[in-house]
Structure 1
Amino acid sequence: MTTQLTDYLQAYGWNEQWSNKSDACSEKLGKAAPARVIAQYSHAYKVMSSSGERLANVSGRFEFQAAGKGDFPAVGDWVMADMLDESPPRAVIQAVLPRQSSMARKVAGSIPDEQIIGANMDFLFITLAMNGDFNVRKLERYLIAAWESGATPVVLLTKSDLCEDPERYIAEVEDIAPGVHVHMVSALENQGKDALLSYLKPGRTVAVTGSSGVGKSTLLNWLAEDEWQSTSGIRESDARGRHTTTHRELFLLPSGALMMDTPGMRELQLWDSEEGWQQAFSDIEDLAGRCRFRDCKHEGEAGCAVQAAIHSGELDGGRYSNYKKTERELARLARKENSTLRQRDKKQAASKNSRSRGHKRRSMEDWGE
């Protein structure tokens, strides 16, 4: 790209790698220029361009060609857009540059489709409060999605000031999160911030995810040393939080890092996550490799290393149950997705044949004339 980019894009993570991707794309899009999606609303986006912030929409052609929701821009995406000379300044998004990472989940409902939670993150902070809502089975689901995303997962145990035995919580998380760094933080008591500074380098993007009320917005305000997001407490009856973040947004921290705040999720429905599932349960996968038989179902076969580990206490039975549960969930999703794709292919083929017959009929009529 020949245009000299301003500090706006560089501050939001622009580098040589993204420049190369945009060069490959710009040949097809003419005057389209790069921008980063920094906020996502119901029917619009906010992007950071070389000239500053702009509201943006996707073009009609983009919307027509998108195969599903996962093809649309998400917060963190780098896009190519036409910059309109209007007041206030607007942009029309023509293309999304290939993502380096993306966290996805299945949309609500029976139709299998993908929703992108955030894109192009370097680290994914999975927040879990050390209170009555603490649940390692729920954390395992987040770890599946995190490993699948391509970003590096990091677990943050929040609200340590409300916990009488934080070491127990840390041990439980470390047992089910092999290879993942775990940090205990408290914004109220200003504890644990130093441990996070190594992730918050200039140009890096960190997304924060987790259930409602675990302290994601509080964490952002604490690291920003300012009140950027509103916060609320939790219900005393069940330790559940209320939604305070209503949309996804990317913030530039004083350190130069970018932090993505996301609305809390009551439930994380998994999307295509085979590799993430294997990584999240790598300890069980390693045990399965030691079974006497390659096709061992771990249901009582002789020489089953998995069942032996459960009986000895090396492997928690609840973790193994969740391993099997999420395996079945992903298998059902794959079957639904394949069925949807087959139906879509049939409709496209039928439409193509119909157009072909119509063209042939018109040609014959023209010949007859």
Structure 2
Amino acid sequence: MRTRNRNVRLITVVAAVLLLAALGSMSLNQNEATKPVFADVEPDAQNSGASPKVPTAASVRTAEPSLAPVSMHYDPSAIKVGDHLTGLKLIKIESGTYGKGSIVSVWDGELQLSGTYEYLYQEAAYNSGQVIFIPDAASAAKLPQPKAFEGQSMRFVLHFTKAEDKQKFGPPGSMGSAALIITSYASVYAGILEGTSDIAAVQTVSDVQVTLPPITQISNSELDGALKDFPVLKQLELTSDIETLRKVQDWIYNVDHSLLIGLAHSGKRISVDQRERIRIWLSQAFTDQKAFQLLDILVPASEGGNIMGGGLSGLRASSEVRELKDQKFVNEKDGTVTYKVTYVLHGTQDAYLNCQLVPVDSQWKIGVYTIGYY
């Protein structure tokens, strides 16, 4: 079941990427019944770094009169290019993008919509960093929806032409309400969908009311209580006698334990200044280069605030250690020392650690290290 869920999620992500690519590549042909979807839309300007195209009066399309009874629901197996629905014209159909039996229908026309939204954090499981729009009842009735989904609430991803439009929705984590004019809508039908798959091309944004995300930042006092000083290994001569080996192994264990406790996942965010304090704290036991690497892994910088992702250093084996064997120090030409050890574990696998020890200001610090299993 777990493998199946991962595969479904992968299909969903890949399908969304392919859909955006396909929508962006369509070309206008006056002799055909198709028109370019999202013609004025490029990938979000704030992500691409490109200068957004500003729609001209000539490029603004208006909804064509409906040639069929007004209804938001359609049969995915019966629609064809050129059909009209709630004032929109079907210009493209794709099959199989979201798995076997899936159908993506792309509808062209200008619609005025209103509703609420949520701006997802970058680390969200689905639709990370995207603005999800939930239309009100009157607006939802204007949008195409497969008959199989009748009665289900509608929501869709906003695809922006201009970075400044997305910025109107506040920082990630914000919620609120807004009014929109969209020019194209991609409706997705599939047996299994994860996250939000429908996409609308946004032409204009107005009447945005923003509710900023709740304050969940860790306090300085909480951080101070967590970041206890690392143990120090003074720059003694590293000889492979039992006492020295035990001292180094105990130190590595205590560094790993301090890291685990100090950066325990709390679900709270930290400020830029607090993140820098964590880097300085890491440099008590690790070289500057390694401290930066660990910071990026354990406290990744994120749009809308940094998050402590837990303090697993990878210095220790992932299961209980029964015995240590083959411990030794190897003196390297650059003045560093490599500590090597084999961890005899409970189970069918054993592990090994190769840990670089670097002399810095009369103490040893941890540089590059590798742990593996065999």
Name which structure has the greater RCO, CA cutoff 8 Å, separation 6+.
1
* TM-score (ref. length: structure 1): 0.22
* TM-score (ref. length: structure 2): 0.22
Larger Rg: 2
Q: Which has the higher helix share?
A: 1
Q: Which has the higher strand share?
A: 2
